[in-house]
């Protein structure tokens, strides 16, 4: 009996020794970190984002993963790890800024640990998480409540204790292979773009007929109201309407292959931007490096690429056309205002009027950027105290669009004139959540813009504070950002997409929710690179922004448009969803696992439906919930990206087979069969 007990105890002891001997440490930095997606820069091994030794609140760490929010790294543990430990925090290299992030660990879809919000200067927070039996582990850094500015985040000392395995795999299942869906436009003429156009009485009129098809092409129009004239070679309509009213113009485009006709409804009244503005903005590619030359080249590329033939119109200059408060760049140094208080344009732009003329002569429109505070977000001169003069300057130069960015306004919103504007930070959200404070500067500029003798689309940029969608329109606003800045990562696009539902019911013609600019093509905020979004993620991004009826502003270098990006920007049936005159924004009507179904009502009684897969596995199902889409009877189903009728479905008895790639989309239009 005794011997038996001894043998049993020895066996247990040996087994324990074997198990302990096989337990193994695997450091996070030993894994393939290139599968991580992050808001800025590239994943860093044992270094901070800027390539320095990792330091959190004065303490240096020799091992770990340096990243930038929104950051996501998936690791396939398959039950082979027992614990994950790390010390997390914001890196000291962003000292002086005040970023905020949260570190989050998910295992098999459940949250296992959260750091809580962390700020620059916080000591590293230790985390020890049991990951036993977990198959897929996600290490995430979210942007906190303040956008992803300066979010240099460190997973320091990060390691796994495994069940014995000596390596672990990271994972990014989304395909990298681009594929083109948009069919080439036919050689015969086709008139694309907005079907309705708003203008105020007495304002200069500029509308370019967007038409694809072989050139040369001649344009003509029937029922052209008095005061407007059409250039038959370019298709550009100019002039002025003096009387309020609705004018239906029959547009015609003709080439040696055929003729196309289409009605354009011109509504001369109080409202402009009756469909979401479409164009380009300098920020996501050039950021602080923008110049008049780059703007002209972007305008030229809008013509050369043929994008103008699909309705793309605005060429918008973002921050950095003014002088800067402390830049080392000589071109940005100089007085902020002249002796009369008028805003001074920096040396890269010199004179705005000829630039605006240049853009208008191409049949395009031009936009500008400022802040109601003393400084823009980038630290250039803002409009504070000079709102009237600035609105007048923009109009005199010939601008058609203003993006007005909150930035430093919160710091002066208490009207403290004693405050030294030089000490005001360029970016602060102070005051933005008090409704009256939030509205005040936008009301002021809105009134001055309305007093100008031209139509200036007014874009409010204050990241959705105080539910701007509820009141932006009452201050003459035409569109308003609903969230913080976008970056070219899946997490950023996903978070922004998922945050739109509450604002959606407020969208209408002339009043658009703006989930920020497109992050496709060569983007990079002065550090050019191909968008880090995978092809399916880009299809989802453009489809959703179309369903959201959001302003479509291309953020990439227009001289580097590749075939895939052009395919995303030239699908007239997808664009038509965005530009539909009814002006409804899609809402999510159903969630099936990780798939969200969005429905946008269209003017002709049909509806656009986006089957959007936010999950990392293909969605494959037989869809029957047609009542959720608000449709009945027999419906024709058209695939808008492929521009193909795919089937007819009886919504009472039938089913639709739906196969959506991971992070991808099916964008369909349902029209009642006659
Ligand atoms: C903010 C805005 C951006 C851009 C920059 C310019 O971050 O949200 O879109 O305009 O300012 O500094």
| CB-count exposure of residue 204 (10 Å: 0-12, 13-18, 19+) | middle
Enter the DSSP assignment of 478.
S
Q: What value does the mean pLDDT of the chain take?
A: 95
- Angle at CA 202, nearest 5°, toward 200 and 207? 65
Between residues 177 and 3, which one has the greater pLDDT?
A: 177
At residue 1, the pLDDT reads 47
Q: What is the DSSP string of 182-237?
A: SPPPPSS-EEES-SEEEE-TTSEEEEE-EEESSSS-EEEEESPPTTEEE-TTT-EE
Cβ(65)–Cβ(43) below 8 Å: yes
- What is the rounded distance in angstroms from the CA atom of residue 649 to the CA atom of residue 633? 8
State the angle between helix axes of 292-304 and 352-361 in degrees (0 to 180), rounded to the nearest 10. Answer: 0
- What is the rounded distance in angstroms from the CA atom of residue 307 to the CA atom of residue 48? 40
Is residue 485 lining ligand 1, measured as CB closer than 6 Å? yes
Is residue 311 lining ligand 1, measured as CB closer than 6 Å? no
Phi-psi region of 379 (alpha: psi -120 to 50; beta: other; left: phi over 0): left
- What is the rounded distance in angstroms from the CA atom of residue 462 to the CA atom of residue 443? 13
Distance 405 CA to ligand 1 centre (A): 7
Is residue 318 lining ligand 1, measured as CB closer than 6 Å? yes
Atom of ligand 1 nearest to the CA of 484: 8
Maximum Cα–Cα distance for the chain, whole Å? 113
Is residue 378 lining ligand 1, measured as CB closer than 6 Å? yes
- What is the rounded distance in angstroms from the CA atom of residue 223 to the CA atom of residue 202? 19
Distance 377 CA to ligand 1 centre (A): 6
Element (H, E) at 539: helix 535-547
Overall average pLDDT of the 163-174 stretch: 92
Residue nearest to ligand 1 atom 3, measured at CA: 485
Confidence tier at 19 by pLDDT (50, 70, 90)? very low
At residue 12, the pLDDT reads 53
At residue 7, the pLDDT reads 59
| CB-count exposure of residue 541 (10 Å: 0-12, 13-18, 19+) | buried
Atom of ligand 1 nearest to the CA of 377: 12
- Model pTM? 0.89
- What is the rounded distance in angstroms from the CA atom of residue 169 to the CA atom of residue 49? 22
Q: Which residues are catalytic?
A: 405, 485
Residue 16 has pLDDT above 50, yes or no: no
Cβ(367)–Cβ(309) below 8 Å: no
Residue 18 has pLDDT above 50, yes or no: no
Is residue 515 lining ligand 1, measured as CB closer than 6 Å? no
Residue with tokens 């669009």: 401
Lowest mean pLDDT of 78-87, 92-101, 364-373, name the range.
92-101
Confidence tier at 415 by pLDDT (50, 70, 90)? low
Is residue 544 lining ligand 1, measured as CB closer than 6 Å? no
Enter the DSSP assignment of 263.
E
Distance 398 CA to ligand 1 centre (A): 23
Distance 404 CA to ligand 1 centre (A): 10
Q: Which residue out of 289, 375, 405 has the highest number of ligand 1 atoms within 8 Å of its CB and is therefore the one to mutate?
A: 405
At residue 418, the pLDDT reads 62
Distance 376 CA to ligand 1 centre (A): 8
Between residues 419 and 31, which one has the greater pLDDT?
A: 31
Is residue 283 lining ligand 1, measured as CB closer than 6 Å? yes
| CB-count exposure of residue 655 (10 Å: 0-12, 13-18, 19+) | middle
At residue 6, the pLDDT reads 56
pLDDT tens-digit readout, 263-302? 999 999 999 999 999 999 999 999 999 999 999 999 999 9
Overall average pLDDT of the 609-636 stretch: 97
Paired strand residues for 210: 192
At residue 417, the pLDDT reads 57
Between residues 12 and 205, which one has the greater pLDDT?
A: 205
| CB-count exposure of residue 594 (10 Å: 0-12, 13-18, 19+) | middle
CA distances from 9 to 6, 14, 21, 22 (A): 5, 9, 18, 20
Residue nearest to ligand 1 atom 11, measured at CA: 377
Confidence tier at 8 by pLDDT (50, 70, 90)? low
pLDDT tens-digit readout, 220-250? 999 999 999 999 999 999 999 999 999 999 9
Residue 416 has pLDDT above 70, yes or no: no
Cβ(213)–Cβ(186) below 8 Å: yes
């Amino acid at each position: 009996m005794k011997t038996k007990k001894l043998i049993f105890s020895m066996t247990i002891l040996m087994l324990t020794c074997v198990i302990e001997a096989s337990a193994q440490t695997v450091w996070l930095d030993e894994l393939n970190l290139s599968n991580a997606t992050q808001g800025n820069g590239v994943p860093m091994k044992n270094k901070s984002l800027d390539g320095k030794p990792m330091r959190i609140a004065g303490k240096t760490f020799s091992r770990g993963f340096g990243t930038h929010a929104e950051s996501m790294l998936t690791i396939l543990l398959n039950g082979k790890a027992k614990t994950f430990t790390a010390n997390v925090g914001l890196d000291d290299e962003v000292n002086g800024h005040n970023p905020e992030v949260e570190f989050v660990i998910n295992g098999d879809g459940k949250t296992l640990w959260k750091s809580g919000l962390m700020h620059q200067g916080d000591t590293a927070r230790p985390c020890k998480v049991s990951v036993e039996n977990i198959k897929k582990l996600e290490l995430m850094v979210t942007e906190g409540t303040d956008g992803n500015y300066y979010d240099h985040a460190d997973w320091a000392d990060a390691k796994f204790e495994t069940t014995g395995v000596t390596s672990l795999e990271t994972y990014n299942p989304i395909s990298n292979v681009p594929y083109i869906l948009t069919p080439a436009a036919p050689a015969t003429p086709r008139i694309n773009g907005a079907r309705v156009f708003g203008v105020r009485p007495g304002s200069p009129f500029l509308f370019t007929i967007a038409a694809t098809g072989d050139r040369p092409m001649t344009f003509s129009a029937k029922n052209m109201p008095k005061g407007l004239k059409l250039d038959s070679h370019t298709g550009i309509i100019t002039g002025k309407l003096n009387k309020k009213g609705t004018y239906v113009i029959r547009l015609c485009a003709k080439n040696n292959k055929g003729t196309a006709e289409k009605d354009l409804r011109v509504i001369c009244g109080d409202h402009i931007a009756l469909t979401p503005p479409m164009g380009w903005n300098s920020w996501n590619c050039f950021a602080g490096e923008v110049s008049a030359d780059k703007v002209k080249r972007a305008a030229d590329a809008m013509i050369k690429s043929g994008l103008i033939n699909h309705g793309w119109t605005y060429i918008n200059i973002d921050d950095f056309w003014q002088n800067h408060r402390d830049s080392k760049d000589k071109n940005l140094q100089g007085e902020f205002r002249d002796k009369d208080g008028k805003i001074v344009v920096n040396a890269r732009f010199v004179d705005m009027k000829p630039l605006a003329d240049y853009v208008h002569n191409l049949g395009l429109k031009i936009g500008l950027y400022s802040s109601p505070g003393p400084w823009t977000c980038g630290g250039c001169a803002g409009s504070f105290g000079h709102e009237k003069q600035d609105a007048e300057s923009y109009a005199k130069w010939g601008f058609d669009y203003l993006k007005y960015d909150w930035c430093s306004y919160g710091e002066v919103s208490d009207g403290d004139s004693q405050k030294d504007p030089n000490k005001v930070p360029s970016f602060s959200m102070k005051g933005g959540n008090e409704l009256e404070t939030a509205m005040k500067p936008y009301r002021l500029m809105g009134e001055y813009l309305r007093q100008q003798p031209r139509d200036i689309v007014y874009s409010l940029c204050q990241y959705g504070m105080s539910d701007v969608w509820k009141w932006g329109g009452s201050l003459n606003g035409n569109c308003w950002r609903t969230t913080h800045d976008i970056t070219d990562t899946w997490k950023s696009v996903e978070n922004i997409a998922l945050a739109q539902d509450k604002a959606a019911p407020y969208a209408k013609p002339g009043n658009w929710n703006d989930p920020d600019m497109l992050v496709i093509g060569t983007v990079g905020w002065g550090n050019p690179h191909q968008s880090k979004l995978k092809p399916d993620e880009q299809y989802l991004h453009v489809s959703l922004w179309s369903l959201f009826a959001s302003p479509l502003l291309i953020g990439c270098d227009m001289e580097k448009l590749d075939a895939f990006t052009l395919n995303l920007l030239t699908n007239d049936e997808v664009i038509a969803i965005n530009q539909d005159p009814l002006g409804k924004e899609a809402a999510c009507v159903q969630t099936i696992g990780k798939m969200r179904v969005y429905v946008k009502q269209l003017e002709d009684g049909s509806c656009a439906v986006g089957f959007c897969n936010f999950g990392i596995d293909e969605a494959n199902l037989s869809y029957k919930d047609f009542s959720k889409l608000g449709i009945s009877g027999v419906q024709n189903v058209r695939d808008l990206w492929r521009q193909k009728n795919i089937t007819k479905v009886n919504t009472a008895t039938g089913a639709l087979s739906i196969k959506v790639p991971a992070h991808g989309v099916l964008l369909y239009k349902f029209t009642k069969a006659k």
